[in-house]
Chains A and B, each alone.
Chain A
Amino acid sequence: DSGVTQTPKHLITATGQRVTLRCSPRSGDLSVYWYQQSLDQGLQFLIQYYNGEERAKGNILERFSAQQFPDLHSELNLSSLELGDSALYFCASSVRTVGSGANVLTFGAGSRLTVL
């Protein structure tokens, strides 16, 4: 157990629907990252939050949004789902202070999304 908790583990839904993926970071970690993993694209960075604020954005579609709450858990919202959104979605967390050294990411077990 890495200490990063993701729910649900598996999710099957239909095109056009909306889903929410949840992540609880490891105790003491302030930063949360979301990654999408598909077979042909590897691990693609989506978005990062630090202590409730968005800090970096990657290849995140406009149909996707995320937020980090005061208790530091994060949610990734995926809307108007398409077949191509089927993937593993990973959350990772790290201890993060401004000016600190390189971040060490701890990953959760992922949420597998299947869009039919």
Chain B
Amino acid sequence: GENVEQHPSTLSVQEGDSAVIKCTYSDSASNYFPWYKQELGKGPQLIIDIRSNVGEKKDQRIAVTLNKTAKHFSLHITETQPEDSAVYFCAASKSGGYSTLTFGKGTMLLVSP
């Protein structure tokens, strides 16, 4: 089955800096790559996703890049703010049928004022 590796496990940045979280996946058939943000005491919330027919997607301060050849994808957060502090999860799945999401183990991002 699919295996998703995520790093770093923790990331501390100063407010205004950029943060990058990287993930690799094992199943070349995977073609859907979402990122979830989990705040303390809450469930994971989808913040951005990318499908394999595109290499990059941006949404305001958040961007995701995908390299299908190398089987890795990354989350980029620019101009970080204290409210960006949370645990971020990457995931991968195939589309169609009843495929499920396989998650990385998460990155705890701490943004210091």
- Asked if A and B are interacting partners, one says yes
- Give every chain A residue within 8 A of B93 (Cβ-Cβ): 102-103
With contacts A42-B89, A42-B104, A42-B105 taken as known, whether A106 is within 8 angstroms of B96 at the C-beta atoms is: no
For window 25-82 of chain A, which residues contact chain B by CB distance below 8 Å? Answer: 31, 33, 35, 41-43, 45, 48, 50, 55-56, 58
CB 8 Å contact bits of A89-116 with B (1 = contact, 0 = none): 0101000101111111111111000000
Q: How large is the interface on B (under 10, 10 to 19, 20 to 34, 35 or more residues)?
A: 20 to 34
Which range contains the number of A residues in contact with the other chain? 20 to 34
Which of chain A's residues have a CB closer than 8 A to the CB of B95?
A: 100-103
The contact string, 1 if C-beta is below 8 Å from chain A, for chain B 69-88, is 00000000000000000000
Which residues of chain B come closer than 8 Å to A33, judged between CB atoms? 100-101
Q: Determine how close the nearest CB of chain A comes to the CB of B55; give it in whole angstroms.
A: 17
Interface pair A102/B31, CB less than 8 Å apart: yes
Residues of A near B104 (CB, < 8 A) are 42
The SS class assigned to the B binding surface is loop
**Assembly CA distance A90 to B49 (angstroms):** 20
Q: How far is the CB of A59 from chain B (nearest CB, A)?
A: 10
Closest to B51 in A: A102
Residues on B with C-beta less than 8 A from A35 are 103
Chain B 32-49 near chain A by CB (<8 Å), digits 1 or 0: 101010000111111001
Residues of B within 8 A of A4 (CB): 43
Are A107 and B34 neighbours in the complex by a CB distance under 8 Å?
no
Find A45's partner among B32, B43, B101 (CB 8 Å cutoff): B101
A–B pairs, 7, beta carbons within 8 Å: A2-B43, A56-B100, A99-B96, A101-B95, A102-B49, A102-B94, A109-B41
Where the two chains meet, the residues of A that have a C-beta atom closer than 8 Å to any C-beta of B are: 2, 4, 31, 33, 35, 41-43, 45, 48, 50, 55-56, 58, 90, 92, 96, 98-110
Instruction: Using A35-B103, A90-B44 as known contacts, list a sample of 18 further A-B pairs with CB atoms less than 8 Å apart, ordered by residue number in A.
Output: A41-B105, A43-B103, A43-B106, A45-B103, A100-B95, A100-B96, A101-B32, A101-B96, A102-B31, A102-B32, A102-B94, A102-B99, A103-B32, A103-B95, A104-B46, A105-B46, A105-B101, A107-B36
